């Protein structure tokens, strides 16, 4: 999928569906918050949510007093929806419309969070570009949190094929310079009550 095709797909999704009409909607992003807590961030920790879209993770982090948040998504419509929901608090967040495979971060981050973005990268070149960006963006000693569909999770999402991972295969895909510090599975219940099995992994950036 080309960058333009990928962007067109997600703009269509976020301009034709309400927030709770997509399978990945979470009222409470508990698994992500638990892993972020494990990194022991401070209010000034730099946190980026990759493919954050209209996710409510940013709401929770802003409410907790984090003031150096960045949300990146390829869909401008998704970010506008999140900003509208946050209202005045949206000014506390840096919003970036970009494709992570071509993004060049202007500064480094203490925590890189990605729930359900990486698994859409079925092309090896896209995955390599993502990993290169992530390793350039995360401070040594910082943390990388990635949630993908598990090996027994769905084979598609939003009509698109995905790659599925367990802790071992995700660790191998991300390569050197990362130490796995936590791995857990999570059964996400979609708004229509079907189950999606996720694999969450947390890594520490070692070099």
- Flag whether 131 is in a domain: yes
Residue 9 has pLDDT above 80, yes or no: no
Closest C-alpha among 145, 118, 149, 133 to residue 204: 145
Residue 46 pLDDT more than 80? Answer: yes
For residues 201 and 179, give the distance between their C-alpha atoms in angstroms, rounded to a whole number: 10
10 Å CB burial of residue 119 (0-12, 13-18, 19+) is buried
- In whole angstroms, what is the distance from residue 45 CA to residue 52 CA? 18
Q: What are 69-125's pLDDT values in tens digits?
A: 999 999 999 999 999 999 999 999 999 999 999 999 999 999 999 999 999 999 999
Residue 25 lies in a domain: no
* pLDDT-above-90 percentage for the chain: 76
In a domain, 56, yes or no: yes
Confidence grade of residue 15 (pLDDT, cut at 50, 70, 90):
confident
Average pLDDT, the chain: 92
Query: Domain limits at 86?
Result: 3-16+30-205
Domain count within the chain: 1
40, 43, 44, 45: CA torsion to nearest 10: 30
Q: What is the pLDDT of residue 98?
A: 95
Residues 6+ apart with CB under 8 A from 68: 44, 45, 46, 47
In a domain, 71, yes or no: yes
pLDDT of residue 194: 79
Q: What is the CATH number of the domain that holds 105?
A: 3.40.50.150
CB atoms within 10 A of CB 65: 10
Whether 193 is in a domain gets the answer yes
């Amino acid at each position: 999928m080309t960058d333009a095709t990928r962007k067109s797909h997600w703009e269509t999704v976020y301009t034709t569906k309400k927030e709770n009409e997509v399978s990945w909607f979470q009222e409470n992003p508990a698994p992500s918050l638990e892993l972020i807590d494990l990194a022991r961030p401070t209010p000034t920790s730099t946190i980026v949510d990759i493919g954050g879209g209209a996710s409510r993770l940013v709401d929770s982090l802003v409410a907790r007093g984090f003031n150096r948040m960045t949300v990146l998504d390829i869909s401008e419509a998704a970010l506008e929806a999140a900003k509208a929901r946050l209202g005045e608090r949206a000014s506390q967040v840096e919003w970036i419309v970009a494709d992570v495979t071509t993004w060049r971060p202007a500064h480094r981050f203490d925590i890189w969070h990605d729930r359900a973005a990486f698994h859409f990268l079925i092309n090896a070149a896209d995955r390599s570009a993502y990993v290169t960006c992530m390793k350039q963006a995360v401070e040594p000693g910082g943390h990388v949190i990635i949630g993908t569909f598990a090996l027994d999770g769905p084979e598609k999402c939003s009509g698109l094929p995905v790659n599925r991972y367990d802790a071992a295969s995700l660790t191998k895909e991300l390569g050197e310079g990362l130490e796995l510090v936590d791995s857990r599975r999570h059964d996400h219940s979609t708004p229509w009550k079907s189950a999606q099995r996720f694999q969450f992994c947390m890594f520490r950036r070692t070099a």
